[in-house]
A and B are shown apart, each in its own frame.
Chain A
Amino acid sequence: MLNGVFEWEKPLVELEKKIEELRRFTKEEGIDFSAEIATLESRAENLRHDIYSRLTPWQKVMIARHPRRPTCLDYIELIFDDFFELHGDRTIRDDPAMVGGIALLEGRPVTVIGPQKGKDTKDNIARNFGLPHPEGYRKALRLMRQAEKFHRPIISLIDVVGAYPGIEAEQRGQGVIIAENIRQMSFLKVPIICVITGEGGSGGALAIGVGDRILMLENAWYSVCSPEMCAQILWKDTKKAVEAAQSLCLTAQDLLAWKIIDEIIPEPPGGAHRDHEAMAMTLKEALLRHLQELEARPADELVAKRLDRYRQIGVVW
């Protein structure tokens, strides 16, 4: 990848640049290039379809990890009218790899949580590359319980390759808190909408991923572990990650077929990183639509349906 452009989309990006130049020329020099532009536009459209309609699972993983892909805080900024961030797990510290707080969605208060990746190297180090410690998950749980108390719906924006594998994380019970989050989320009496916006890896994603609606962005991935981890464990070779991505059936399209997710949120052509605004607006529309459906239901029915959904997964006999 060079300057944020993937190898496979280079011809398209060059074509788009050419169109852009012709447009500028038209404007600045007053020469009419509309015919040429139209021809190139239709060529670009074909190329766009050609390239982006047959992305391999690994290419999608790469798009999901694009350094300019919108982060949790980007979505919060673009989708909600207001946001008040809440910090800390009340036990050890505030984990910057997990953010959360109260936001207004078209005027109504909701609780938003999500892992936060960094925007640059410095930010990434501060945020531990978006890999939460147990206290991050504990903070998320605290905010979710708070949401339940005040009857606020919960929106979980998930982009995490996994829970942080470190010594302190293990000391503070990474496994225990993940189990605890899963258990408690399952029974919360408020609507929960989870969105896999980028990466969804292992228990680190599921710990904030149990809900009434599971949505997934078109190029996001979600699986039992990252392709690299799978390749390492099964074949002792991280270079086989491409193969693992294929085998794991981790794309949104696979997961919709398995009924693990409810809906695929389309991304702007080429990926969410190419147009944050458009991506956020598409997601906002979906959130509002699902929330309206869920809020019409009594809490007990909500929980019963949620449990039923998970109970059915893997019953194949």
Chain B
Amino acid sequence: MLIVFWGKQKYVTIKPQETSSGPVADGLWTRCPSCSSLLYTKELTKNLNVCNRCSYHFRMGAWDRVKHLLDSESFQEMDRDLEGGNPLGFSGYEEKLANSREKTGLTEACLTGEGRLSGYQLVFGAIDFGFIGGTMGTVVGEKVCRAFEYALAKRLPVVMVSAGGGGARMHEGILSLMQMAKTSQAVERHSQAGLLYICVLTDPTMGGIYASFASLADVILAEPRALIGFAGPRVVEETIRQKLPSGFQRAEFALNNGMVDAIIERKELRKVLTRLLLYHDGGGRQSC
């Protein structure tokens, strides 16, 4: 039954493309927003978009995550042909989608596929902040859902790298909000089968993405200083009418408050994920 169902999936393997999510894209030099050092862009890219002076973690595009974390040539993208329209007829949305597609080389804010991490077969997903702030509309919701369903059918673990400035995508209104329910349910069904799910929260993971699948992992990791929370800091500031404490909603704040398991530097991430997969005997289970 599962084979028939999954037989409908379409796979398109394409070459990884350079993405431009971080502020790194153009220019020979990039200024670090944290320590103000002028960094040689090529060096910065080589250093996984981490400042070599103060270890500030710049944002990273979805394809760069694949390149960084997965075994080379092992990744097979899923559902690349899933493209949504403009269900609400929200003005300016088509242009926004078109611009984001051009800018990131992605069809939507979420990249999903099957691959290997240090030899472990898994389903991998990454959200790209460069695509309308990494927000979740119907296509992102559907892709995340299908990724978990595929992993469930094939008894594979899931590793997600989340980002998302606003969480749910406003241009798709209530349909976006409902993706929170849809993805949370897919995560739970995968979980009930005893399969492992690890989520890495990266800058920024907010709103509807944080308040759904990103929060429901067995192990939640975070990159240093990543903004993590439900309400945006500006909204909080305007509501309480006082200045926010320094470090508010940063990864360290989330760790102190018990919302994440560990903060992991980007250069250590692959190693840590490998260890966790090892502890879970690969995180999947024999097909039954």
Q: Which residues of A contact B (CB under 8 A)?
A: 162-167, 169-176, 178-180, 182-183, 186-187, 202-203, 206-207, 210, 222-225, 229-230, 233-234, 247-250, 254-255, 258, 260, 307, 310-311, 313-317
Give chain A nearest CB distance to B8 CB in angstroms: 12
Of B30-38, B41-49, B87-95, the one touching chain A: B87-95
Contact yes or no, A182 B259, CB < 8 A = no
State whether A175 touches B249 (Cβ < 8 A).
no
Question: Across the interface, do A170 and B185 meet the contact criterion of CB distance under 8 Å?
Answer: no
Residue ranges of B at the interface with A (Cβ–Cβ < 8 Å): 82-85, 87-88, 90-91, 137-139, 141-142, 145, 166-170, 172-182, 184-185, 187-189, 206-208, 210-216, 228-232, 235-236, 239-240, 244-245, 248-249, 253, 257-259
Q: Is the CB of B230 within 8 A of A178?
A: yes
B235, A229: Cβ atoms closer than 8 Å: yes
Given contacts A176-B211, A313-B179, A314-B172, 13 further A-B contacts (CB under 8 A): A162-B231, A166-B240, A173-B257, A174-B229, A175-B206, A175-B229, A179-B213, A186-B188, A187-B185, A202-B207, A314-B137, A314-B141, A314-B182
CB pair A179 B211 closer than 8 Å: yes
Closest-by-CB residue of B relative to A244 is B170
Known: A179-B211, A313-B182. A170 touches B166 (CB 8 A): no
Q: Is chain A's binding surface mostly helix, strand, loop or mixed?
A: helix
| CB-based contact A314/B178 at 8 Å | yes
Minimal beta-carbon separation of B240 from chain A (angstroms): 6
* Chain A to chain B contacts (Cβ below 8 Å), 7 pairs: A166-B231, A202-B168, A210-B181, A233-B170, A250-B173, A260-B174, A314-B142
User: Taking A170-B236, A180-B215 as contacts, is the C-beta distance between A247 and B88 under 8 angstroms?
Assistant: yes
> How distant is B86 from chain A, measured CB to nearest CB, in Å?
11
10 closest Cβ pairs, A-B complex = A314-B138, A165-B231, A175-B230, A179-B215, A178-B211, A174-B230, A175-B210, A175-B211, A313-B178, A203-B211
User: Which residues in B have their C-beta under 8 angstroms from that of A203?
Assistant: 167-168, 177, 180, 207-208, 211-212, 230
A222 with B188, Cβ < 8 A, contacts A179-B212, A179-B215 known: no
A223 to B181, CA, bound (A): 14
Chain B proximity of A234: nearest CB distance (Å): 6
Chain A residues with CB under 8 Å of B213's CB are 179
* Smallest CB separation, B138 vs chain A (Å): 3
Q: Which residue of A lies closest to B260 (CB)?
A: A176
Which of A163, A179, A202, A229 is packed against the most chain B CB atoms within 10 Å? Answer: A179
A-side contacts of B253, CB under 8 Å: 170-171
Q: With A175-B210, A186-B185 given, is the CB distance from A250 to B259 under 8 Å?
A: no
Residues from chain B with Cβ under 8 Å of A249 in the complex:
88, 173-174
Instruction: Flag if B229 contacts A182 (CB, 8 Å).
Output: no
User: Please, which residues of chain A bring their CB within 8 A of the CB of B87?
Assistant: 316
Least CB distance from B136 to A in Å reads 10
